[in-house]
């Protein structure tokens, strides 16, 4: 169960380190269906609040310390939470597909890399980049 007002893009976007994540979320289909907390926080009322507080404080300290130009990313525990939330929200589709994590150790976002946060260029964008670069001379 998300913690409402602190698990949305306004709160999450208050930190400049979250700009890429918030911008990609605001331009995704998830914007009209889910908050940050719907994906990133366990839906158990107690565990969800504990994990939300823990990850929020950890990320805040990392930004304040500016450790190696701190970049927020999901660790192993967070990835498990995100995967579980994908399975919960998309249960209708997943009832036909099955839980990929149980069958081959993959999580939803291992294949769906750009959902909802765009991280990698699409095949079309890669082609544009490749063809836009001048060819190197072999001489």
CATH superfamily for domain 4-132: Di-heme elbow motif domain (1.10.3820.10)
Decide if 58 contacts 17 (C-beta within 8 A): no
**What is the structure's pLDDT at 69?**
60
**What is the structure's pLDDT at 110?**
76
Confidence of residue 103 (pLDDT cuts 50, 70, 90): low
pLDDT at 60 over 70: yes
> pTM for this one?
0.68
C-alpha dist (Å) from residue 27 to 8, 22, 50, 53, 122: 14, 9, 29, 26, 15
For the chain, give the mean pLDDT.
74
Six-digit token pair at 96? 């036909």
Average pLDDT over residues 19-44: 85
């Amino acid at each position: 169960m998300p913690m409402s007002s602190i698990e949305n893009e306004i709160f999450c976007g208050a930190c400049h380190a979250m700009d890429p994540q918030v911008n990609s979320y605001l331009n995704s289909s998830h914007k009209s269906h889910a908050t940050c907390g719907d994906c990133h926080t366990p839906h158990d009322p107690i565990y969800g609040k504990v994990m939300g507080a823990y990850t929020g404080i950890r990320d805040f300290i990392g930004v304040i310390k500016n450790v190696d130009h701190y970049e927020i990313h999901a660790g192993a525990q967070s990835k498990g939470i995100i995967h579980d939330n994908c399975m919960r929200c998309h249960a209708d589709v997943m009832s036909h597909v099955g839980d990929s994590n149980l069958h081959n150790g993959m999580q939803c976002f291992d294949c769906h890399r750009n959902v909802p946060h765009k991280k990698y260029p699409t095949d079309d964008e890669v082609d544009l980049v490749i063809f836009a670069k001048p060819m190197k001379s072999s001489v």
